[in-house]
Amino acid sequence: MRKAQGIANIRGFALAACALLAGCTTISEPVVEAQAPAPVEVRLPKTVREPALPPPAPVVRPAAPPASEPPEAIFPPAPVGPISAPRYPGRQQGVARVLELLPPSVTRDRDGWAADIFAAFAALRLAPTAENFCAAIAVIEQESGFVADPVVPGLSRIAWREIEARRQRFHIPKLALEAALAKPSPDGQTYKRRLDTLRTEREMSLLYDDMIAELPGGRLLLSGYNPVHTGGPMQVSIAFAEAHARAAPEYGGGSGKGLRNAVFTRPGGLYFGIAHLLDYPAPYHDPLFRFADFNAGHYSSRNAAFQQAVARLTGVKLVLDGDLLRYENGEPSGEASATQKAVMALSGRLKLDSAEILAALRQEKRESFARTQLYLRVFAMVDQAAGARVPREAMPRIELKSPKIQRKLTTAWFAERVHMRYRACMKRATVA
Give burial (CB, 10 Å; 0-12/13-18/19+) of 207: buried
User: What is residue 29's predicted lDDT score, i.e. its pLDDT?
Assistant: 32
pLDDT lower than 50: segments of the chain? 1-85
Angle (nearest 5°) at CA 346 between 345 and 349:
140
* CA 26 to mean position of chain CA atoms: 40
User: What is residue 246's predicted lDDT score, i.e. its pLDDT?
Assistant: 85
User: What is residue 121's predicted lDDT score, i.e. its pLDDT?
Assistant: 95
User: What is residue 45's predicted lDDT score, i.e. its pLDDT?
Assistant: 32
Q: What is the CA radius of gyration of the chain?
A: 25
User: What is residue 172's predicted lDDT score, i.e. its pLDDT?
Assistant: 86
User: What is residue 289's predicted lDDT score, i.e. its pLDDT?
Assistant: 97
Give the 3-state secondary structure of the chain.
CHHHHHHHHHHHHHHHHHHHHHCCCCCCCCCCCCCCCCCCCCCCCCCCCCCCCCCCCCCCCCECCCCCCCCCCCCCCCCCCCCCCCECCCHHHHHHHHHHHCCCCCCCCHHHHHHHHHHHHHHHCCCCCHHHHHHHHHHHHHHHCCCCCCECCCHHHHHHHHHHHHHHHCCCCHHHHHHHHCCECCCCCEHHHHHHCCCEHHHHHHHHHHHHHHCCCHHHHHCCCCCCCEECCCCEEHHHHHHHHHHCCCCCCCCHHHHHHHHCCHHHHHHHHHHHHHCCCCCCCCHHHHHHHHHHCCCHHHHHHHHHHHHHHHCCCCCCCCCCCCEECCEECCCCCHHHHHHHHCHHHHCCCHHHHHHHHCCCCCHHHHHCHHHHHHHHHHHHHHCCCCCCCCCCCCEECCCCCCCCEEHHHHHHHHHHHHHHHHHHHHHC
* Residues 372, 367: Cα–Cα separation, whole Å: 10
Query: Which amino acid belongs to residue 391?
Result: P
Q: Which residues are bridge partners to 410 per DSSP?
A: 399
CB neighbourhood size of 2 (10 A): 6
* Residues 408, 386: Cα–Cα separation, whole Å: 35
Q: Are the C-beta atoms of 277 and 138 separated by less than 8 Å? A: no
User: What is residue 368's predicted lDDT score, i.e. its pLDDT?
Assistant: 97
User: What is residue 260's predicted lDDT score, i.e. its pLDDT?
Assistant: 82
User: What is residue 403's predicted lDDT score, i.e. its pLDDT?
Assistant: 55
